[in-house]
Amino acid sequence: MKIIMLGAPGAGKGTQAKKIADKWQIPHISTGDIFRANIKNGTELGNKAKEYMDKGLLVPDELVVDLVVDRVKQEDCVNGYVLDGFPRTIPQAEALDAALNAIGEKVDYAINVEVPDENIINRMSGRRACVACGATYHIVHIPTKVEGVCDRCNAQLILRDDDKPETVKKRLDVYHEQTQPLIDYYTEKGVLVEVDGTVEMEEVFGAIVKILGE
């Protein structure tokens, strides 16, 4: 099963993508996580990506397309995968489709997690990320056992630069301009499904399970 998660930044698509990956035992591929790992390791890709990410802008297509196309060709992807944060532009979607077409495959579902902008801004300011392992939490919705400390690895939690309110507003503008057109794109392909992302996390997941089948 090849799944794409769509939705504004902070809509909860990452959380749902992880749950899908766990239930169906397929890899969760997050381009944001890949970039953050590269930034942490000080790679050339990381340094280039950071310039854009810190401003709330998208990393240029040429830095992300090959990376994802190569990743989905790896052996652990034979039974499918869930893409989180990719594609984010029409050219990225076209590049993915072209790569899949070439091997006689296609995207099965594009799941749009719908959340209005006002909710997003509230949510993102409460988001916290681990400086060491990248795990994400929320001070209200997904609290850690000890405040400010990662449950997984005990490292410190921070508000990511790209989750700061002024950057979030910019990211939402970019989302509406460049990523929202993908909703029409995947509707035309007949694979778009929508879930209400404003309800509790487990309820959102329940709606997704209903769509994908047990």
171 binds ligand AMP (CB under 6 A): yes
In the residue annotation, 152 being an active-site residue is answered as: no
**End-to-end C-alpha distance for the chain, whole angstroms:** 13
Interface with ligand AMP, residue 163, by CB under 6 A = no
Provide the minimum distance between the beta carbon of 143 and ligand AMP in the complex, in angstroms, as a whole number: 20
Q: How many CB atoms lie within 10 A of CB 108?
A: 12
Q: Is 72 in the site for ligand AMP (CB under 6 A)?
A: no
Part in contact with ligand AMP (CB under 6 A); list of ranges 20-28, 31-39, 108-116, 124-132: 31-39
Q: Is 71 an active-site residue?
A: no
Q: By CB under 6 A, name the one of 3, 8, 17, 31 that touches ligand AMP.
A: 31
* 127 is a catalytic site residue: yes
Is position 52 an interface residue for ligand AMP (rule: CB under 6 A)? yes
Min separation Cβ 113 and ligand AMP, Å: 12
**32 counts as binding ligand AMP under rule CB under 6 A:** yes
Alpha-carbon distances, residue 167 vs 147, 164, 177 (angstroms): 24, 5, 15
Q: Which two three-digit tokens encode residue 29?
A: 């591929």
How many residues interact with ligand AMP (rule CB under 6 A)?
Answer: 16
In order, the DSSP letters of 141-202 are: TB--SSTTB-TTT--BEE--GGGSHHHHHHHHHHIIIIITHHHHHHHHTT-EEEEETTS-HH
**Is 155 in contact with 131 (CB distance < 8 Å)?**
yes
Is position 123 an interface residue for ligand AMP (rule: CB under 6 A)? no
Q: Which helix (H) or strand (E) holds 61?
A: helix 61-71
- Which range, of 52-60, 97-105, 109-117, 127-135, touches ligand AMP by CB under 6 A? 52-60
Place of tokens 């992302």: 197
Task: Tell whether residue 53 is a contact of ligand AMP (CB under 6 A).
Answer: yes
Q: Which helix H or strand E contains 121, and what residues bound it?
A: helix 117-125
Among 85, 112, 134, 186, binds ligand AMP (CB under 6 A): 85
Burial of 62 (0-12, 13-18, 19+ CB in 10 A): exposed
Which residues of the shown chain bind ligand AMP in the complex (CB under 6 A)?
Answer: 9, 31-32, 35, 52-53, 57-59, 64, 85-86, 88, 92, 162, 171
Active site residues: 13, 88, 127, 160, 171
